A and B are shown apart, each in its own frame.
Chain A
Amino acid sequence: MPVITGLGFITSIGNDRAAVLRSLRELRHGFEPVRFFDNPNIAVKVAGTVKGFEFPTPSWRDWRWPERFTVDRELVRGLAPHGVYAVCAVEQALSDAGLTAAELAGGGTGLFCASAGSPLLMGHFMQQMNEARGERGNPLGIVSSIAGTLNFNLAAHYKISGAVCGFVSACASSSHALGYAMDEIRLGRQQRMLVVGAEDMTAESIVPFAGMRALSTNPDPATASRPFDRKRDGFVGTGGAVALIVESAELARARGAKPYAELVGWGQAGDGHSVAISHPEGAGLREAMRRTLADAGVAPGAVNYVNAHATSTPAGDRSEALALQAVFTAAGARPRISSTKALTGHGLSLAGAMEAAFCALAIREGFIPGAAHLTEPDAACDGLDLPRTSLDEAPALVLNNSSGFGGSNVCHLLRRAV
Chain B
Amino acid sequence: MTLPTSPEQKLRSLPAPARAAYQRFKDNGDPAALDEVIMAILADFIPRAQAGLLATATGESRLIEDLGFDSLAITEVVFFTEDLFGISIGNQELVQIRTLDELRQFVRKKISERPAA
Contact = CB atoms under 8 A, between A and B. Distances in A.
Contact of B1 (A58, A74, A125, A138): A58
Contact of B3 (A58, A73, A139): A58
A59 interface: yes
Interface of B: 1-5, 13, 45, 47-48, 72-73, 75-76, 78-79, 82, 88
The 10 closest A-B pairs by CB, nearest first: A57-B1, A139-B75, A74-B47, A124-B3, A61-B13, A139-B76, A58-B3, A139-B79, A128-B3, A72-B48
B44 to A, nearest CB: 9
Contacts of A62: 1
Contacts of B2: 57-58, 124, 127-128
Contact of A140 (B4, B5, B47, B76): B76
Interface string A200-215: 0000000000000000
A294 B88 CA distance: 61
A128 B48 contact: no
Contacts of A57: 1-3
B40 to A, nearest CB: 14
Interface of A: 56-59, 61-62, 72-74, 77, 124-125, 127-128, 131, 135-136, 138-140
Task: With a 10 A CB-CB cut-off, give which of A77, A127, A131 has the most chain B CB atoms.
Answer: A77
Contacts of B13: 61
A124 B48 CA distance: 27
A248 B2 CA distance: 46
B76 A77 contact: yes
A62 B88 CA distance: 26
A140 to B, nearest CB: 7
A62 B3 CA distance: 10
